[in-house]
Amino acid sequence: MTTHEILNNVDHQDLRILTERSAELGDNVMCAQLMPQEFRDAQNDYPIFFHQDSSSGKYLPYAMFGLQEDENLFLEGKNWDATYIPFLVEKGPFLIGIQQKSNDEQEMVITVDVDHPRISRTEGEPLFLPQGGNTKYVERMSHVLNAIREGSVETEAFVDALLKYNLLESFKLDIELDNGARHSLQGFHTINEEKLVGLDGDVLAELSAKFFLPAAYMVVASLSNIRKLIARKNRRL
C-alpha cells in the first residue's frame, strides 16, 4: 500500500527516513532503472542492460544487482557494498508530483509515501529543521528527483538513437555456479559492440555530440561486471 502526500513542514515535521540498506526496507531487488548520466558511476560496479517495458514497449537501461528475482548481491548486513547507488534506489519514499494552482498553472512538488517502510518518527534522517526549513537530506532528495525527471527525457533520446542505428541486441546469459546450480537470464538487451565500432564518422560525431557515444561505451564496459556478480553469488553458496 502506498499513500503519497505532498511534503510539507507542518504535516511531516516529525518524519524521519531510515537510510540503512536491508531487504526489510525494500532493497532486495534484482535490478533498478538507470539514467544515462549515471552510467559513468554505475559501470564501476554493475552490469548495465536494457529491458523492454511490458506496458509502454520502451527499452530502459537497468543496473543489475542479482541473478534472480528479489536478490541483491550487494546487500551485506545494513550496508550496500558498492561505490554508487542508483537514483531510483536512493530516492526511497519520494516522488515528484504535480500540484494544480488556482490560476490553472501547475507546479512540481515533492511527495512522500507515508506508508513506506523507510518512514519513521523516532529514528533516521529528519526532513525538516526545528524552525521548519529543509534539512540537507531533503535538499539531496530534491536534487535526486530532478535528476530522475531530466534523466527520463535523456533516456528516451538515448534509446531512440540506439534503435535508430540498430545497436541493441538481445542477450541471454547461462550461468553455472560452483555448486552446480544453473541460472538463465533472458529478456535483456545490450549494445552490439561490433556495430557500434563500425558506425561511420558522421554517425559517431552525432552520437558523441549528444554524449550518447561515451554512454554507449560505458554500457559495453559494464559487462565485465557480470563475472564479479557471479563471484558474489558463489561466495554466498
Give dist(CA 135, CA 16) in Å, integer.
11
Instruction: Tell me which residue range forms the domain holding 33.
Output: 4-235
Return per-residue pLDDT of the chain as tens, 237 residues.
789 999 999 999 999 999 999 999 999 999 999 999 999 999 999 999 999 998 899 999 999 999 999 999 999 989 999 999 999 999 999 999 877 777 777 788 999 999 999 999 999 999 999 999 999 999 999 999 999 999 999 999 999 999 999 999 998 889 999 999 998 988 999 999 999 999 999 999 999 999 999 999 999 999 999 999 999 999 999
Outline where the chain has alpha helix (H): 39-42, 87-90, 136-164, 193-197, 201-209, 212-222, 225-235
Give dist(CA 227, CA 210) in Å, integer.
31
* pTM exceeding the 0.85 threshold for the entire prediction: yes
Give dist(CA 230, CA 151) in Å, integer.
29
For residues 60 and 50, is the Cβ–Cβ distance under 8 A? yes
Residue (of 3, 44, 15, 31) closest to 141 by Cα position: 15
Domain count of the chain? 1
For residues 223 and 185, is the Cβ–Cβ distance under 8 A? no
Residue 227's identity, in one-letter code, is R
Give first-to-last CA distance, the chain, whole Å. 34
